[in-house]
């Protein structure tokens, strides 16, 4: 049979060993969470870059298409003016036909400009959405890392837990008279 002091020391020692083992496991878990967080953050950055690149490419395509459309409308307007001039019509009628052709060309070009401006505003909103999405992923990763590190018990709490267990064992063996 064990002596009472040996039981108290054994209980406290076992509790200390258990607490230190749990602390070590929690530290390792936090380290692994941190490493995973680094990889996840890198993935979020790569995803953001790829998505932003795709949006930029689409925006440049839209600009090129708009430039081609504006050029085509300009050519159509010039052709219409040339046709009106060579048709043999003169005077006010000719001027009205030329003015109408120029107005139609200008309206078509303005419609293309407005569509392009709208697409540019949408591009900016999409990029802002990507930034928000990336920042949200970063914040979630940081929160997981913080949570993992917060799960590590402090050394003082492990020691106090072991001492408390030792006192509890001592009290249960000697009863309440031991503390009077």
Looking at residue 87, the DSSP 8-state letter turns out to be T
Show me where the domains of the chain are located. Answer: 4-63+117-179
**Distance separating alpha carbons of residues 46 and 31, to the nearest angstrom:** 23
The DSSP annotation for 127-171 comes to: HHHHHHHHHHHHHHHHHHHHHHHHTSPPHHHHHHHHHHHHHHHHH
Interval 103-118: pLDDT, tens? 999 999 999 999 999 9
Give pTM, 2 decimals: 0.68
Interval 4-27: pLDDT, tens? 677 777 777 888 888 888 889 999
């Amino acid at each position: 049979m064990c002596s009472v002091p040996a039981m108290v020391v054994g209980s406290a020692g076992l509790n200390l060993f258990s607490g230190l083992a749990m602390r070590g496991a929690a530290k390792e878990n936090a380290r692994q969470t941190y490493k995973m967080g680094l990889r996840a953050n890198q993935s979020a950055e790569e995803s953001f870059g790829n998505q932003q690149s795709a949006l930029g490419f689409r925006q440049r395509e839209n600009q090129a298409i708009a430039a081609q459309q504006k050029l085509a409308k300009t050519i159509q307007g010039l052709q219409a003016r040339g046709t009106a001039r060579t048709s043999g019509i003169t005077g006010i009628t000719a001027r009205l036909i030329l003015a109408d052709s120029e107005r139609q060309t200008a309206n078509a070009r303005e419609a293309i400009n407005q569509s392009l401006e709208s697409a540019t505003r949408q591009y900016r909103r999409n990029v802002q959405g990507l930034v928000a999405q990336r920042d949200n992923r970063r914040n979630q990763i940081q929160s997981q890392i913080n949570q993992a590190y917060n799960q590590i018990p402090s050394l003082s709490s492990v020691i106090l837990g072991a001492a408390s267990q030792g006192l509890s064992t001592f009290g249960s063996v000697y009863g309440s008279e031991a503390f009077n």
